[in-house]
Every structure is written in C-alpha cells, then in structure tokens.
Amino acid sequence: MSVSDPAAHLREELRALERAYTIGHHGLGVAGRRAGLVDACLVELFERAGSPAGVAILAIGGYGRMVQLPASDIDLLVVHDDDASIGATVDALLYPLWDAAFAVGHAVRTPEECLAAIERFDAWTAMLDGRLVVGDETLADRALAPVRARAREDPAGFARRLRDAADARRARFGSTAHLLEPDLKEGSGGLRDVASLGWLAAAFGTDLESAGLVRARERAAVDAGAGFLVRTRSAVQLLTGRRADRLVSELQPDVAREMGFVDEPNLLATDGLMRSLFEHARNVEHVVGLALARATAGTTGDPVVIADAGAILEALADAAEGGEVPSVGLLDAIEDVTVPQRVGWDARTRAAFLRLLRSGGSGSGMFDVLDRVGLLERFIPAWTGVRCRPQRDPYHRSTVDAHLVAAAAGMAELLAGSGDADDPIELSAVAQVERPDALLLGALLHDVGKIGTGGHVPIGTAIARDTLDAMGVAGPERDLAVFLVEEHLLLPDTATRRDLSDEDLLLDVAARIGTPERLGALYLLAKADAFATGPAAWTPWRETLVRELVAKVQRVFDRGEMGEELAARLAERTERLRQLLDGEPDEQIHRFILRVPRSYLLAVDPGRAAQHFRIVMPPLGRNEVRTAASAGSRAGSYEVVVVASDRPGLLSWIAGALAIGGISILAAQAFTTEDRTAIDVFEVEGAFEPEITEARWRAFRNTLRRTIEGSISLEHRVREKGRHYPRPRMPSPVTIRVLNDVSEFSTVIEVGASDRIGLLHDITRTFADLHLGVHLAKVATFDGRVVDAFYVRDELGRKVTEHSLLSGVESALRERLEP
C-alpha cells in the first residue's frame, strides 16, 4: 500500500465501511474489518518510520481482540528494547493518527515494564488481549508471554480477581440486564463481561469448554449476546458520533429503527430492542457469573442431585436462608432437571417459594437464577408478559420484572424490621401485619399487569388473581394480596394529586381500604414499590404527603367514621339511590353523589335523598331558597329540606324563620356540599296549628329569603316570639362540651338544653356572631330536652384551635342559653 497520508486514508476507508453497512448492522464482522484497516495503517506508518528494529507494535484491549468499534480509541502498546530512539518512532506513528483526529490510547513499555504493569488489573487484562500488528515478533512474545504466564500461575486466583472486578463494575454501572438506560460496555452483562471470558480462557490456557467452565449451549448464548451488544453499541456510537456506551432513552427509538425493530402488538419497536438487549445481557451475565463461579470454586464437592421442580425451589430457599450464593454444583444440577413447561403447584412448592420470598435480598438473587435458566416463567406463566419488559416512566430505572423482584425483596426487609426506625407509620404497620406472605405476594405481583396494553392495574388484578389461584394461595391471604395489587397506587396517587383537607376524600379512601391492617399493608407496599423504583420515587416530599394521608385515614378508622361495615352500607345506599334515580341523566346522578357529603349519604334515607336530588341539582340563585316537604317519621310531623347557598349564619336564619312561622324543630341534620350549598333536613311539627299548608311554607321561604337579602332582621322577632311563651318550669341544666379530637377538620360542640321556641336559632346565632361556620349539625329532641352536636369551622374553614376562641364559644353559649 502506498498512499500519501496513511492516517487520512484510514479515515476514508473507515467512512467507506460505515457507508457499506446500515447503522444497525455494524456487528462483530464489521468490527473485525475495522481492526484490520487500522492494522494496515499502522503497518504503513511503521514502514514509513523505517521499520526500526527492536520495536513491536501491539494491539491491545478491544482492538487486540479484533473488536474495534466506530468511535472507540485505538489502543496500542509499543514494546521496545530500551531503545533511546523510541520517542521518535512513537511520534512517527502517533502524530499522523492524531492529525487525522483519531483517539489513540497508547503505552510505551519494555518487556520488563509490561510485566510490572500487571499491577494494574485493567492493564493486565488489556495485555491478555494483546497481539502483534507489526514489528519484532520475538520482542512481542517476550513482552506478552510472561504476562500470560502470570495469569496461568493461579487461574482460580485470577478468576477471583475477575469476579471482584465484575462486582465492582456492577456496583458502579449497574446491570445491562435490566436497567432502562444501560451501559453497554461496563454494566453487568455488558461487553466487558464478554471480554472476561477471553481473559479467563487465557488464564486457563485453553478454551473454556475444554476447561469445563462453560457448556456449549452457554458459549453459544454468550456469542449471540456479544454480537447483539456490539451491534447496539456500534449503533449508539454511529448515531452520536461519540465514544458513547450508554443507551439513553432518547437514542433508543433511533437505535431500534436502525436495528430493524418494528412495532408489534403490545410491544413497541423500542421495547422490542430493549427486551432483546436485556435477554442477551442476562445470558452474558449468567454465563460469565457461572464460569467465574466454576473457576473459583476449585472442587465442586459432592454432586448435587435434584429430583424435580419443587426440589429446585427448596434447594434455592435453603441457600437463600443461609445467606449463601448457590453453589456451582447446585446450579449445574438445576440445569439438568427436566422441568415441565407449566409447573403444578403443591404445598411443598408453595412453601419453598414463600421461603424464597421471605429471604429478601438473598432470595431475590435466587429469583435471578430461576429467571436466567428460564424456570421462573414455568412456575409463573404470567411472568412472560413482564420479563425483560422496559417501562416508559421518568421514575423507573429497571425492567418490570426486575422491579417486581426488587419490590418483593424490599417488602421482606421492611417486614423483617430493617426499615426506617424513625418512621412511626412503618413501625406500626409492620407490627400489625397478620399475613406477611400476602404482602410479599402483593409486592411480587403489584405491576404484573404491565404487559404493554391497557391499564396495568385492572389487568394486573386479574392476572394476580389467576396466578394466586394457580399457586393455591387461598382465603384471606389471597384476598389481601389481590387487594394490594388492585390498590397499590391509591396512596401515592391520592396523596400527591388530591386535596387531603377534603373530608369526603378521606372517607372514600377509608371506604376503599376498609381496615387499618390493609391501610398499613398499602403503606408498606407504597414504600417497597418506591424504593424498588429508583431514587426519585420516595423523596421527603412524597413521603410527607403519603404519611399525611395515611395518618388521616387511620384517624378516620380510629373514630369509627368509616370501616368495612360502614363502607358496605355506603355502597349499598349509593347503589339504592342510583336505582331510585333511574331515568335521570347518568352524569347528573354521578355529580349528585359526588357533591353531597358522605355523612349525608350515610344519614339520609336513599328514598329521601332521591327526592332531594330534584331540588339540589338545578343551579341555585344567590339568594334563592328552596324547600320540599313531605310526611315525617311520626304522625303529624313533616320532613322539610331547605336548600340554599351556604353562608355564615344561614342555619340560624332557617331556625329563626321556622320559629317565627310557628314551626317546631324536632330534629335536624345540616350538611354542606363541597361547592358550599347547604342541604338542611328538618323533622318539624306545627307548634300550634298541626297542619303546615303550602301557604305557611311559602311564608317561611319569604321570611328566610328576605333575611338572606338583609331586608329584615330575625333576631328581634325571634326574641319577641319567645317572650310570649313561658320558659320550661323545670329547666334542665345547659351542658356544653367542646371537642377537638372527634373530627379531623371540625371542632365539635355538643349542647344540651331544655327545648324552647327559638333555641336552635339562639345556639347557631352565637356561632355566627363568633364567625364560626356550621359544617354539619345533628339535632335531636328527647322528652323536652334537646341534644345537639355542631361541627364548626373558622372563617378559613379550619378546625378551631385558638384557646381564647374555644373558651369564648362556651361562655357565649352559656350567656345566651342559661336563664
């Protein structure tokens, strides 16, 4: 070859090579040709330098293995015999390459220095890949032979160093086998692992099959993996034009297209690429791990014999519980068991599987083993849908299956009490767990519905149910596990997206959850899920919100405001109401049910509520008052519902207007909707004239409307009305209790007093004067004595916490009510 500038010529040839293949097809063959072109250039440059004697030019590292990638450095080792003029030779080689903008990694050493350089393990392994490109063959041999011999002195020791290096890489770069943005070179299961097998072979001085370290099937899997990884990494480098090793998300669609992946049903092209990559990397990771384990084990001990699928799980569970890694003998024995395509579950298999789950981190290592030898899918057929499946989500870092195994391991650690000692919710939740296995199974299956189609929660719930049935998990255990899968997003989604000061929201969440045990289980799952997702999923920000929600829902249970029975009653009443409203537009029914407080749905008979629907739903004018009356619960009584826009003092005006109209209140329940419409339901009777005609209702409405408009003042009239009637002769004492721990959002004020005309007006007027709004009221009369409970809030809608105001309420009420 004679060209004016060999390096520039190399550049042209490499460009031609790039053009000859599409970006996605630069595999091992092309990498080899690329290395060949570099060789030719170096030969030419060496000759132009006068082919100096006593110098050998060696290719090392990937280039030495004839795997030269598009943007990789050209790694050279110049060996010389302590030649004083070596500097000039090196310049003659390197300057042309540098001028043509090649990145060259180079070392200049004597043979003795080569041997000394093996102190650095990466320099050692790079030289194990060394081959002579041009120059003094004897010198090259003098340099490389001792380096190889040193590795052969103690192959097992060398294998241990390879294993340590692999562990360090895994810790630093993670795994190419499940990370969503994997490092194709340094990650566990990446190209460096593939190269490790070559170094291992160098240490054993023979091919690994002959050494009994790798089986033929395993070799084939690694070769296929190497080809795929090289194609992928080359595509990344060609697309970015840089020496890039990480397959970041932005690049994945382009790489997938270039490598010929197309969208398939339930699997986007990008996901197809990633799934193939993960499968190959898992094979590489597994075989390399196995080969290194076999190489370091020395003797494999007594041969392990495993009879069937259940025994595999038992053996792995034993190892996991002992905190051991599976022995080579065990792994080999597992590979030799004939396992049916679908394993039938029995008590023994189930027990061993649960032992694996309970073993946490060491158990999850065993799940990896089962996965790598293709057995996990035989135990859990649904696993196929999530295996190696990437997920598109800014928080997730791993494939769905790796995430599930990590979440189950995290749950095991939480249950073992190795979590956060400063998290009282976690501690309490762990303490009340009655069915730990259900929590582990829930964690293992929570995302099993992520199969590339539809909403993963309903799909996952159905899959989890089938899977647990097939496993023979039954009864409350199964129900709790299915519940966890179905509701695993409830806490984090509600906490971060909904208003936690909405009482009905808390009641709804409590109704969906049902029991404190389930609430605690969901909290533990939220935590295990987040920790398995990635560092951004459980920030103090999220934690504070989720804890706030859990604490509030727990207090709902503690106060008995919601529970399994109430939830069932609420569901039953809501359903009944829907039936009664049949014929009304669905959207209106739905809105009505969402608008009214849960306390309303629980307290008001569905038949009554269906009647209320008609006067609550039409848009309400600012000063409008609506009433609807029907027969009450006893002879001569009426039930009247009053609907108006809520405002401070409204309840006192209604009570006052009723008093003025000669209508006695027997019982009352006052509700406020989220959009501040008051729905106040009264059981009344005529104080003097038993019959309450429509004309009297009209008069009541008028009085109330004019009061709301501000055209009349009720205060004086109610007092006047009361003056004409004697006070009760034997007045029972006024009792007042101010309670701040009964409700999450309201201060509850209980008032007992002898009944009299205008009493409810007086009580509620007092609240209005103190700028307290009545959010909910329950009023009842027994034998001439009134027992009332008012849920009041301050002007900003908060529970009243100010001491002076709390004591002021009591004294103001006494002043007003005591004769």
Q: Does 428 bind other proteins (CB under 8 A)?
A: yes
Q: For residue 78, give both structure tokens.
A: 């110049």
- Residue 512 or 555: the one with the smaller Cβ distance to other proteins is 555
| Contact residue for other proteins among 797, 802, 814, 818 (CB under 8 A) | 797
Q: How far is the CB of 230 from other proteins (least distance, A)?
A: 33
Quote the least distance from Cβ 794 to other proteins, whole Å: 9
Query: What is the closest distance, in whole angstroms, from the C-beta atom of residue 539 to other proteins in the complex?
Result: 7
Return d(Cα 502, Cα 508) in angstroms, integer. 10
649: DSSP letter: T
C-alpha distances out from residue 440 to 74, 290, 311, 749, Å: 50, 28, 21, 45
Instruction: Specify whether the CB–CB gap between 197 and 288 falls below 8 A.
Output: yes
Beta carbon nearer to other proteins, 171 or 431 = 431
Measured from the CB atom, the residue of 94 and 495 that comes closer to other proteins is 495
Q: Quick check: 693 binds other proteins (CB under 8 A)? A: no
Nearer to other proteins, 126 or 774 (CB): 774
Contact yes or no for 667/781 (Cβ under 8 A): yes
Instruction: Give the C-alpha separation, 231 to 8, whole Å.
Output: 25
In whole angstroms, the minimum distance from the beta carbon of 502 to other proteins comes to 9
- Pick the binder of other proteins from 554, 599, 652, 707 (CB under 8 A): 554
The residue among 614 and 676 lying less far from other proteins, judged by its C-beta, is 676
Query: Does 798 help bind other proteins (rule: CB under 8 A)?
Result: yes
CA–CA distances in Å: residue 651 to residues 624, 668, 714, 766 = 15, 10, 12, 11
- What is the smallest separation between the CB atom of 413 and other proteins, expressed in angstroms? 21
Give the binding range for other proteins (CB under 8 A) out of 461-469, 613-621, 653-661, 796-804.
796-804
Residues from 497 through 516 that contact other proteins (CB under 8 A): 497-501
Site string for other proteins, 177-196 (x = CB under 8 A): --------------------
Judged by beta carbon, residue 550 or residue 566, the one nearer other proteins is 550
Phi-psi region of 491 (alpha: psi -120 to 50; beta: other; left: phi over 0): alpha
Is 560 a binding residue for other proteins by CB under 8 A? The answer is no
- Quote the CA–CA distance of 710 and 717 in Å, as a whole number: 14
Q: For other proteins, which is the closer residue by CB, 85 or 539?
A: 539
* 799 is a contact residue toward other proteins (CB under 8 A): no
Does the CA dihedral 539-542-544-550 come out positive or negative? Answer: negative
- 425 makes contact with other proteins (CB under 8 A): yes
Q: Choose, by CB under 8 A, the member of 66, 200, 484, 550 that binds other proteins.
A: 550
Residue 547 binding other proteins, by CB under 8 A: yes
Could you tell me if 133 and 42 are in contact, meaning their C-beta atoms sit under 8 angstroms apart?
Answer: yes
Contact 810, 737 (CB under 8 A): no
Q: How far is the CB of 532 from other proteins (least distance, A)?
A: 20
Window of 182-190, 204-212, 421-429, 806-814 that interacts with other proteins by CB under 8 A: 421-429
Q: Tell me: does residue 421 bind other proteins (CB under 8 A).
A: no
Cβ neighbors of 613 (< 8 A, separation 6 or more) are 581, 584, 589, 592
Bridge partner residues of 77 (DSSP): 58, 107
* Binding status of residue 545 toward other proteins by CB under 8 A: yes
- Residue 809: CB minimum distance to other proteins, A: 20
Q: Tokens for 432?
A: 């009340």
Place of tokens 């034997």: 730
Question: Toward other proteins, which CB reaches closer, 225 or 520?
Answer: 520
| Range 218-234 burial, b when 16+ CB lie within 10 A, else e | bbebbeebbbbbbbbbb
The residue from 51, 496, 713, 807 that contacts other proteins (CB under 8 A) is 496
The CA distance from 707 to 719, in Å, is 15
Helix/strand/coil for 408: helix
Binding flag, residue 796, other proteins (CB under 8 A): yes
Residue 558 lies near other proteins (rule: CB under 8 A): yes
Q: Which is nearer to other proteins, 422 or 783 (CB)?
A: 422
Which position among 51, 544, 735, 740 is part of the footprint of other proteins (CB under 8 A)? 544
Is 729 one of the binding residues for other proteins (CB under 8 A)? Answer: no
- In the sheet that 735-739 helps form, which strands lie side by side, from edge to edge? 625-631, 638-645, 677-686, 663-672, 773-782, 785-793, 747-754, 735-739
Stretch that binds other proteins, among 146-154, 294-302, 491-499, 613-621 (CB under 8 A): 491-499
Q: What is the secondary structure of 4-68 as a DSSP string?
A: S-HHHHHHHHHHHHHHHS-GGG--HHHHHHHHHHHHHHHHHHHHHTT--TTEEEEE-HHHHTT--
Q: Is 257 near other proteins (CB under 8 A)? A: no
Q: Is 85 in the site for other proteins (CB under 8 A)?
A: no
Q: Which residue number, 743 or 754, has a Cβ lying nearer to other proteins?
A: 743
By beta-carbon proximity to other proteins, the closer residue of 316 and 550 is 550
Minimal distance, residue 796 CB to other proteins, in Å: 5
Residue 344: phi and psi, rounded to 5, are -80, 135
Contact flag: residue 548 with other proteins (CB under 8 A)? yes
- Strands (DSSP E) contained in 571-662 are 625-631, 638-645
The single residue among 344, 424, 535, 607 that binds other proteins, judged by CB under 8 A, is 424
Span between the terminal Cα atoms of the chain, in Å: 120
| Number of residues lying near other proteins (CB under 8 A) | 27
Task: Using the minimum distance from each CB to other proteins, give the nearer residue, 51 or 539.
Answer: 539
Helix, strand, or coil (residue 384):
helix
Per-residue mark of binding to other proteins, 744-783 (x: CB under 8 A): ----------------------------------------
Q: Which is nearer to other proteins, 422 or 694 (CB)?
A: 422
Residue 753 corresponds to which tokens in the numbers above? 């007093």
Q: Minimum distance between the CB of residue 517 and other proteins, rounded to whole angstroms?
A: 12
Long-range contacts (CB closer than 8 Å, 24 or more residues apart) made by 684-691: 684/632, 684/637, 684/638, 684/639, 684/640, 684/658, 685/632, 685/636, 685/637, 685/638, 686/636, 686/662, 687/662, 687/663, 687/757, 688/662, 689/662, 690/636
Closest CB 420 distance from other proteins, rounded Å: 11
Q: Please spell the DSSP secondary structure of 162-177, one letter per residue.
A: HHHHHHHHHHHH-BTT
539 lines the binding site for other proteins (CB under 8 A): yes
CB of 81 to other proteins, least distance (A): 54
The 3-class SS string of 215-278 reads CHHHHHHHHHHHHHHHHHHHHHHHHHCCCCCECCHHHHHHHHHHCCCCCECCECHHHHHHHHHH
Is residue 541 within the footprint of other proteins (CB under 8 A)? yes
Q: Which residues bind other proteins (CB under 8 A)?
A: 422-425, 427-428, 496-501, 539-542, 544-545, 547-548, 550-551, 554, 558, 796-798
